[in-house]
Amino acid sequence: MNIGRALIIHEMQIFPTALSDVKILRPQQFGDSRGWFSETFNAKRFEEAGLPTTWAQDNQSLSARGVLRGLHYQLGEPQGKLVRALRGHIYDVAVDLRRDSPDFGKWAGFHLKSPAEGPLEMLWIPEGFAHGFLVLSSEAEVMYKTTRGYHPAGERSILWNDPTLAIDWPLEGLEPSISGKDALGQLFKEAELP
């Protein structure tokens, strides 16, 4: 993961990444012998950081090791996503689909782990990106907030192993488990993009 120097907004560290507008958020954790507490969302703090303050939908999934979900995006009603691993370890990938972006067609991957396995981190992926993840632990529970709801008519998918994107998934000998729908994803060069 290539991240830069953190911006600190009221004890939340916000790190830039190799993709413009994609950010790693690391909220402060307050702990003692009983456990820990963290404020993962505060509308005022998010507004100060230039992040969304209203969300349309929360999604949560449980997946076994080797499950690869993605690369998903929506036309017409694109979704920004705030992603975190509640349990387990995932490799989360964002692909810039914004034609006017200097990062168009580039991807970045991020190891997101449950707070029990590393620091509490969330990944902010703005609208205009494709998103997917690979489960690296025995199972992983992933939660993400979206800026817009699910829009079936605009749902699209790019193949996880597209040769143009050449995403370096850390498969470590795993044969990824892909849904039938994701197996029918388009090649990046042929995909209908925003």
| In the chain, domain spans | 7-29+37-183
Annotation marks residue 89 as catalytic: no
Task: Report the distance separating Cα 116 and Cα 165, nearest Å.
Answer: 32
Kindly list the distances between the CA atom of residue 83 and the CA atoms of 64, 106, 116, 166, in Å, as whole numbers in the listed order.
Answer: 18, 19, 16, 23
Residue-level pLDDT at 118: 79
Burial of 174 (0-12, 13-18, 19+ CB in 10 A): middle
What's the whole-number mean pLDDT along residues 165-189?
96
CB distance 117 to 54 below 8 Å: no
Q: What is the pTM of this model?
A: 0.91
What's the whole-number mean pLDDT along residues 30-59?
88
From 72, 73, 91, 131, active-site residue: 72
CB atoms within 10 A of CB 125: 28
Q: For 94-145, what is each residue's pLDDT tens digit?
A: 999 999 999 999 999 999 999 888 789 999 999 999 999 999 999 999 999 9
Residue-level pLDDT at 77: 97
What's the whole-number mean pLDDT along residues 9-30?
87
Task: Report the distance separating Cα 106 and Cα 58, nearest Å.
Answer: 27
pLDDT at 3 over 80: no
CATH superfamily of 7-29+37-183: Jelly Rolls (2.60.120.10)
From 73, 89, 91, 144, active-site residue: 144
Q: For 164-176, what is each residue's pLDDT tens digit?
A: 999 999 998 989 9
